[in-house]
């Protein structure tokens, strides 16, 4: 077998189709009562970018290509443990969006181009939907699921060890973000917020994918650098798009950060300087991959796609 470079569009399509089927499997496994099941299904099947599952798959393929003779000729492109990790990060991310949109948080009525979960199903059901999606994110890493090979205790433990503290950091970052509303914060303070709020789950996604491919310590270090830079760049981009994009393009209300008087990179630096900063972070992320992996890494393609995104 020989190493070959996988077209990013092909990878994206494969991740999305696999994830869609696996979401149905996990929700059916949960056997949730109505209307909780319907609310969870609604939230999990919106037209999101699937960035975090793509990061899992790209991390997995990047390490696999460097660790052994690999081919992209045969499907599936990723093993069952990688599928579990993709589910975990997408379920956790979606829970955070449901809760972010609630009136007690950002009070948004549009998400991914559709009414938010609490607008569609009511606040109580939306709150519980977020709660159960969070628990299912962890269950995905250990449960006996139809169509999945059993996961070993050692592999489940290694994935949970990567996932759990970063899930906790995401919530801590959300609290820090709320604390920073209506305040002037420095760039180091702002970065500390977003390394947790946005960056922690991005870091978990990349490292869990790497763990599924049995990455070594040197590879983990390089991938942590990549993920840290991409996570921060992603948030800087979000701040820029909140003031430069339209609601129709973004799929959620623009100007919401300004309306809540949030601390953002645009407020701190201006659009031009923030754009330059995001570019520098993407370049640093790419360098970490170039220095340690094949030049045609799926992670490089993913970073390029993220840099060009408009929503």
**pLDDT beyond 60 at 70:** no
Element (H, E) at 277: helix 271-290
Q: How far is CA 105 from the centre of its chain?
A: 20
Return d(Cα 212, Cα 156) in angstroms, integer: 10
pLDDT confidence band for 311 (50 / 70 / 90): low
CB within 8 Å of 306: residues ≥ 6 apart:
51, 230, 233, 234, 237, 282
Spatial CA neighbour of 149 closest among 242, 94, 82: 82
Spatial CA neighbour of 82 closest among 14, 2, 184: 14
**pLDDT beyond 90 at 89:** yes
Beta-carbon neighbour count of residue 87 at 10 Å? 26
**pLDDT beyond 80 at 71:** no
Higher local confidence (pLDDT), 256 or 162: 162
Q: Alpha helices, DSSP H only, in 80-216? A: 80-101, 117-121, 123-139, 153-179, 187-197, 199-212
**pLDDT beyond 90 at 162:** yes
Q: Give percent of the chain above pLDDT 90.
A: 74
Q: How much is the pLDDT for 19?
A: 97
Question: What's the pLDDT tens digit per position in 198-221?
Answer: 999 999 999 999 999 999 999 999
Question: What's the pLDDT tens digit per position in 259-285?
Answer: 567 788 898 889 999 999 999 999 999
Q: What is the mean pLDDT of the chain?
A: 90
Return d(Cα 208, Cα 109) in angstroms, integer: 32
């Amino acid at each position: 077998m020989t190493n070959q470079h996988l077209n990013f569009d092909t990878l994206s399509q494969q991740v999305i189709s696999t994830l869609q089927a696996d979401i149905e499997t996990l929700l059916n496994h949960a056997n949730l009562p109505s209307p909780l099941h319907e609310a969870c299904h609604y939230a999990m099947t919106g037209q999101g970018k699937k960035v975090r599952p793509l990061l899992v798959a790209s991390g997995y393929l990047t390490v696999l290509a460097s660790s052994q003779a690999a081919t992209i000729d045969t499907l599936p492109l990723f093993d069952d443990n990688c599928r579990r990790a993709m589910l975990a990060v997408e379920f956790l991310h979606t829970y955070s969006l449901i809760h972010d949109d609630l009136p007690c948080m950002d009070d948004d009525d549009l998400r991914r181009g559709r009414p938010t979960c609490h607008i569609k199903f009511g606040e109580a059901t939306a709150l519980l939907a977020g709660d159960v999606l969070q628990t299912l994110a962890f269950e995905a890493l250990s449960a006996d699921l139809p169509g999945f090979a059993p996961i070993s205790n050692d592999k489940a433990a290694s994935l949970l060890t990567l996932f759990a503290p970063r899930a906790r950091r995401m919530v801590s970052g959300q609290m820090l973000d709320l604390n920073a509303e209506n305040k002037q914060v420095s760039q180091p303070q702002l970065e500390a917020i977003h390394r947790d709020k946005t960056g922690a789950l991005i870091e978990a996604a990349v490292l869990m994918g790497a763990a599924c491919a049995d990455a070594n310590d040197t590879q983990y270090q390089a991938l942590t650098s990549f993920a840290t830079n991409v996570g921060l760049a992603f948030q800087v981009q979000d701040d820029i798009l909140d003031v430069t994009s339209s609601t129709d393009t973004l799929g959620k209300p623009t100007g919401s950060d300004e309306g809540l008087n949030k601390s953002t990179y645009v407020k701190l630096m201006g659009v031009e300087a923030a754009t330059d900063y995001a570019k520098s972070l993407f370049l640093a992320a790419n360098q970490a991959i170039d220095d340690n992996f094949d030049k045609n890494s799926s992670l490089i393609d993913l970073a390029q796609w993220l840099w060009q995104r408009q929503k």
